[in-house]
Amino acid sequence: MSRSVTVIVEPDPSGHRYQAVANVAAVANEYDDVVLLTSTGASTSEAFDVYLAETTFLRVEEVFTEVYPPTREMAAAVAAKARELDVSTAVVMDADQSLKKWFYVARSEFKGLPRKPRVVFMLTRYPAKLKLTDSFGWKFRISKSALAVVAMATGTLHHVAGFSGRDDMTKGWIVKRARDPEICSAHSRDRAAIRAELDLPQDRKIVGIFGQLTERKNAPLVLDSLKAAGLDDVDLLLAGSVLPEVWEWINQLPEADRARVIVHDGFLTNELMDKLVAAVDACPIALTNNGPSGIMGKASAAGVPVITAGSEVRARELVATDGGEVAELTPESIGAAIKRQFAKDPDAPRRNTVPPATADEFSRSLLGVDAHGKVLGRSPRR
């Protein structure tokens, strides 16, 4: 007897999106066959080769001509699969934009389907934790929740999850919490050997910024923080795809500043990313998006302290996991936080108050299934 199918929609292969796809697909494959709907050329990308090439059970179909297709096109692609296969579940992995129109475009596209799939949305920019004074954040959160309720009322959406901090053990009401997993295949205990392998300096401390290096990662702010704190023996590592505007800043640095900025430009395989994270003495994350950080998870798993600024979610998590220092988004505050962290005993045990966030837990929370693959809550509409 043939199995039903889970369809995963992720047109964009950039960054580490396919790592999340691999995690979700592994859980879905316990009870379903799995099909990935993605964009043209995605299966030949570096990210696919790193995260999905060995996922042999996954059927990949390049049905989108762009990485950000219109919502109607995504709904139509899901409907087309549901007419061809016995689709039990459709998962839209980065659904923040799709949420705005899904309730009416999916209703028309799904009309006449022999079996309407259970639809799951993953919101990557939903603020799970907010200060009461954050009026913008509350408006953002309420609007997303309202759109989710409307879509659920039309029967086109059944389960919505959003990233939450690793300290957040609550389930969530409308938008369910999915704790961002902390996974790293390298560890700071092997820092000296990793630095030798990657030709990084052994005699200086290093702080690192990782991933796609955009202006939002605030590399100039971090370098200024090192100078503000008088940390002349600390270098800054920039590792990942460096965008032109960041290269422009790097190339205009005075000679003394440029000498302490180490650049590792290009796509990072998961193995290389993990080694680079484990090789640094601290990870400053100076970002204003109020959400968890995948790099913060890697750093936590690698035993590397994080300096966070600009996020209530990351600040709460850092306190709960004893994973570093919290700062304000200024050079003086970040520099002082780095200095405080470096003054600590690196061998002192962490006072972590929460269990590790695993890829399996994340995927089950996202899919809305229990340890046996059973759907939590209401049954899908047919």
**pLDDT tens digits along 174-210:** 888 888 788 889 999 999 999 999 999 999 999 999 9
Strands annotated E in 93-229: 118-123, 159-164, 175-179, 205-210
Residue 380, in any domain of the structure: no
Question: How confident is the model at residue 377, as a pLDDT?
Answer: 66
Residue 50 has a pLDDT of: 84
* Shared domain check, 172 and 216: no
pLDDT of residue 129: 67
- Where residue 242 sits, what CATH number does that domain have? 3.40.50.2000
- Answer yes or no: do 18 and 113 share one domain: yes
* Residue pLDDT, tens place only, 200-238: 999 999 999 998 899 999 999 999 999 999 999 999 999
One domain, residues 198 and 327: yes
Q: Examine residue 228 and state whether it is found in any structural domain, yes or no.
A: yes
Residues 152 and 29 in one domain: yes
Specify which residues 89 forms β-bridges with.
Answer: 6, 118
> What was the pLDDT predicted at 165?
67
Give the separation between CA 227 and CA 230, rounded to whole angstroms: 5
Residue 229: domain span: 188-343
> pLDDT under 70 in the chain at which residues?
1, 15, 126-130, 165, 167-170, 377-382
Parallel, antiparallel, or unpaired for β 324-327 and 234-240? unpaired
DSSP states of 27-87 as a string? HHTTTSEEEEEEETTGGGSHHHHHHTTT-TTEEEEEEESSSS--HHHHHHHHHHHHHHS-E
pLDDT for the residue 169: 66
pLDDT of residue 381: 42
Same domain, 206 and 336: yes
Give the pLDDT confidence score for residue 114 in this predicted structure. 86
Whether 91 is covered by a domain: the verdict is yes
Q: What pLDDT is attached to residue 370?
A: 87
Residue type, 74: M
SS3 of residue 282 by DSSP: strand
Query: What does pTM read for this prediction?
Result: 0.79
The structural domain count of the chain equals: 2
> In which residue are the tokens 């702080």 written?
207
Report the b/e string of 277-305 with b at 16+ CB within 10 A.
bbbbbbbbbbbeebbbbbbbbbbbbbbbb
User: CA triplet 304, 181, 58: central angle to 5 degrees?
Assistant: 130
